[in-house]
Amino acid sequence: MIIAMDYDDTFSKDPDGWAHVARAMAGRGHKIIGCTMRYPDETDGMSTLYGEVCEQVHFSSRVAKRDYLASKGVVPDVWIDDRPDFIVSSARDLRQEQEEFERMEKSQSEASREYTRGKLTI
Ligand SMILES: [Mg+2]
């Protein structure tokens, strides 16, 4: 299996623990790769253990991880990630969805207020 392991809030939460898991699975013939949404120049503070236990580390630069890795010809069998939504959606897409939702909620609440005001004046 190819196992893609996230860094932030996954590996970073327990580097020794995940390194142990990664080495155990690598020892069984599986390929462990790192995949983070960070930009390649955002390595400050990253544990060096991550690079040691992952055969490759991919920086998707906020692009959805599955699409990013597919563009590199890498198709993981298993994902270890605290944010599965970032596997299929880019950070930008999710932000736009959130803004759209908030805009819709605001306009519905304004419409509701108008309706209520209308009822009160009748
Ligand atoms: Mg994460």
87: CA distance to ligand 1 center in Å?
10
| 39 and 96 together in one domain | no
| 55 and 99 together in one domain | no
| 16 and 56 together in one domain | yes
> Residue 117's pLDDT band (boundaries 50, 70, 90)?
low
> Residue 120's pLDDT band (boundaries 50, 70, 90)?
low
| 10 and 33 together in one domain | yes
| 79 and 114 together in one domain | no
Predicted confidence at residue 11, as pLDDT, reads 98
- Separation CA 56–CA 77 (nearest Å): 15
Task: Tell me the per-residue pLDDT of 78-103, one tens digit each, with 9 for 90 and over.
Answer: 999 999 999 999 887 676 777 888 89
| 62 and 119 together in one domain | no
5: CA distance to ligand 1 center in Å?
9
3: CA distance to ligand 1 center in Å?
15
Closest CA to 11 of 23, 27, 29: 23
100: CA distance to ligand 1 center in Å?
24
34 neighbors 11 (Cβ within 8 angstroms) = yes
| 81 and 115 together in one domain | no
104: CA distance to ligand 1 center in Å?
28
Task: Tell me the per-residue pLDDT of 4-47, one tens digit each, with 9 for 90 and over.
Answer: 999 999 999 999 999 999 999 999 999 999 999 999 999 999 99
* pLDDT greater than 60 at residue 122: no
- Separation CA 14–CA 6 (nearest Å): 12
Is the pTM above the cut of 0.85? Answer: no
**What 3-state DSSP class applies to 3?**
strand
| 7 and 56 together in one domain | yes
Residue range 55-77: mean pLDDT, rounded: 97
| 37 and 49 together in one domain | yes
| 81 and 100 together in one domain | no
Which structural domain, as residue segments, surrounds residue 12? 2-89
Predicted confidence at residue 110, as pLDDT, reads 79
Could you give the number of structural domains in the chain? 2
Task: Tell me the per-residue pLDDT of 98-111, one tens digit each, with 9 for 90 and over.
Answer: 788 889 988 888 77
103: CA distance to ligand 1 center in Å?
27
Dihedral angle computed from the Cα positions of residues 5, 65, 79 and 35, in that order, rounded to the nearest 10 degrees: -10
**What 3-state DSSP class applies to 104?**
helix
